Structure 1
Amino acid sequence: MRPQRVVDLLAVVALVLLGLSAYLTWSIADPGSGRPVVNFNGYAVTRAPVTLALAGVVAVIVTKLAGTALRRVLAALVALMGVAAIAVALQVRPDAAELGRLRPELSQAVTDRVLLSTGPAPWLALAGGVALLAAGVIALLTAHRWRRPTLRYERDPAATPADQWKAIDAGEDPTI
């Protein structure tokens, strides 16, 4: 499989995993005393994984249109976004006080203690960050072998506007 296809596949996998992490349970808070358990999805806890996934996919798409130097810069940015997604997945663990600000029924004034546990979403965000990091590294290492953007629709820089009008009058397409 060509490196471009591998990078595309990894970017889509990262988008799916990071997007799923926004909708699945990130934290579970049990206030006890017969109160209902409160689930927090990833989007309620942090919006970073979705933002990083969308930015990474856009950067991978732009690499298709870029030259080798810009491709390497974009690949490095994609790798950095993958590192950021991994860091978010490993470090974002809201505490009871922060969850109490999101949901008043979990505040210290209402309950004595809140038991916190982690849902599956951080693991998906971690896997998505690893996929985004891998896409960036592969793109960075193989950018010089990718197909270059086509010049089919670019016009001849030596042709003057008058020459182009003459070609159009003659029934020719001056962009070919």
Structure 2
Amino acid sequence: MRSQRLVDLLAVLALALLALSAYLNWSYGDPGSGRPRVEFSGYSVTRAPVTLALAALVAVVVTKLAGTALRRVLAVLVVLMGVAAIGVALQVRPNAEELSRLRPELSQAVTDQVVLTTGPAPWFALAGGVALVTAGVIALSTAHHWRRPTAKYDRDPAATPADQWKAIDAGEDPTI
């Protein structure tokens, strides 16, 4: 029970960190010569962290409804999404040519040289990826201890629709 809550908490934390990385500055481009510095948000550089976070959150929600085997498969997927988020955070460093396609004021035709610096967003994406990996590993190792979804509202497979209507007419709840 505690492990389910911990996985939920880590998934929400990962979503928050990865979403924050989309809105913070991923890179800065300084064209020099007194021109203003150009800022690039994480979402303009890469959409991968937000996409991975949303997919992982959906996978964690589905684990609540799944059996043990499917929980383990989903947990492995969450781990892989976390590894992908870590990879994106460590690998995505756009160069001046890529950034000049996004913002023409950084092109070689306008400026002689562009100085690029990295903002704080990749660190948030990295922390979100680590949180996803941790959530997936915990879910994978504790999936057999999680509670099953309740069957309270499942109908009796032996009952026919006519039997259910008769039960409702008699004032009984046929789902119990």
**TM-score when scaled to structure 1?**
0.98
CA RMSD after TM alignment: 0.9
SS in structure 2 opposite 1:19?
helix
Q: How far apart are the structure 1 equivalents of 2:122 and 2:37?
A: 19
SS at match of 1:97: helix
Aligned position for 2:165: 165
User: How much has 1:62 moved relative to structure 2?
Assistant: 1.0
1:67-86 paired onto structure 2 within 5 Å: 67-86=67-86
Q: Which residue of 2 aligns with 1:30?
A: 30
Q: In the alignment, what sits opposite 1:125?
A: 125
Partner Cα separation in structure 2 for residue 169 and residue 100 of structure 1: 71
User: 1:1-176 residue pairs with structure 2 within 5 A?
Assistant: 2-176=2-176
SS of residue paired to 1:116: strand
Give distance in 1, aligned partners of 2:128 and 2:168: 51
Q: Runs (4+) of structure 1 moved beyond 2 Å?
A: none
Distance, in Å, in 1 between the alignment partners of 2:95 and 2:148 is 49
Whole-Å separation in 2 of the counterparts to 1:72 and 1:36: 50
Cα deviation for residue 159 of structure 1 reads 1.5
SS in structure 1 of the partner of residue 27 of structure 2: strand
Q: Residue 163 of structure 2: SS of its match in structure 1?
A: helix
Distance in structure 2 (CA, Å) of the matches to 1:151 and 1:105: 61
> In structure 1, what is the Cα distance between the partners aligned to 2:66 and 2:142?
14
- Superposed displacement of residue 169, structure 1: 1.5
1:120-168 Cα distance to aligned partner (Å, 9 max, x none) = 0000000000001110111011100000000000011121222212211
* Alignment: residue pair count: 176
Unaligned runs of 5+ in 2: none
The 3-state SS of whatever aligns with 1:29 is strand
Shift of 1:26: 0.3
Give % identity: 82
Return the alpha-carbon distance in structure 2 between the equivalents of residues 23 and 168 of structure 1: 53
1:108 and 1:37 map into 2 onto residues whose CA distance is 15
TM-score under structure 2 length normalisation: 0.98
Q: Secondary structure at the match of 1:26?
A: strand
